Amino acid sequence: MDEPRAERPDMPDYGVDTPSWVPLPWSWAAERLIANRNFWVVTVSAAGRPHALPVWGVWDDDDERFGFSCGPRARKARNLEANGRAVIMTADTVECVSIEGRATPVRDDEGQARWIERYLAKYQPLAPSISADFLRQNLIVEFEPERAFGIIEREEEFSTRATRWVFGDVGRSAAPDDVSETWLRCCGARCERLERP
């Protein structure tokens, strides 16, 4: 896949229009996404109520996707069922990476197995009791990025390095307000399919 396109973010009140601005390379963001342990996931309910909680998750730079799991009845799962738009962020607020995009449940066995393998490779050394069976009992979510922001919260770098990255053809396959997604809510062995217009 092509790397996302680096741009100067539109931040007119923060001095980012300086002539000394140089974009951060995507490798800077990818390095932080891959190494990060705890990610913030921000979702919004159908009624517009925001929700943010940390999760464990995996950034795959080859696929340019983020995967995480959560309880099938968790608020973030309910919010994503109603509104697939979300934001993920690294835990570091000094060298921050924030990504906007769309999250969908992973329903197929092959996709689930791929994310479970990635998840276990990253987190099983930290928590040996995590198993593939445990993850399969939860909702596995894949996040597709549309644009990302990198901010270095140090005075000498804030205005000269703040960067927005735009991902190629993400979101061009269908209009954002006309996307039909099927959410699969799994509770133990019982599953329910929900169609979202």
Confidence of residue 169 (pLDDT cuts 50, 70, 90): low
pTM: 0.83
Chain center to CA of 194:
22
- Integer Cα distance of 118 and 137 in angstroms: 17
> Residue 195's pLDDT is what?
41
Q: Give percent above pLDDT 70 in the chain.
A: 85
How much is the pLDDT for 107? 93
53 and 91 in contact (C-beta within 8 Å)? no
Helix residue ranges, H only, 36-154: 75-82, 109-123, 132-136
* Fold (CATH) for 5-170+177-188: Pnp Oxidase; Chain A (2.30.110)
Strand boundaries in the chain, DSSP class E: 5-7, 38-44, 50-60, 65-70, 85-90, 95-105, 139-152, 163-166, 181-187, 190-196
Express each pLDDT in 36-87 by its tens digit. 999 999 999 999 999 999 999 999 999 999 999 999 999 999 999 999 999 9
In whole angstroms, what is the distance from residue 166 CA to residue 99 CA?
10
Grade residue 18 by pLDDT with cuts at 50, 70 and 90.
Answer: confident
Average pLDDT over residues 141-169: 94
Per-residue pLDDT tens over the stretch 86-132: 999 999 999 999 999 999 999 999 999 999 999 999 999 999 999 99
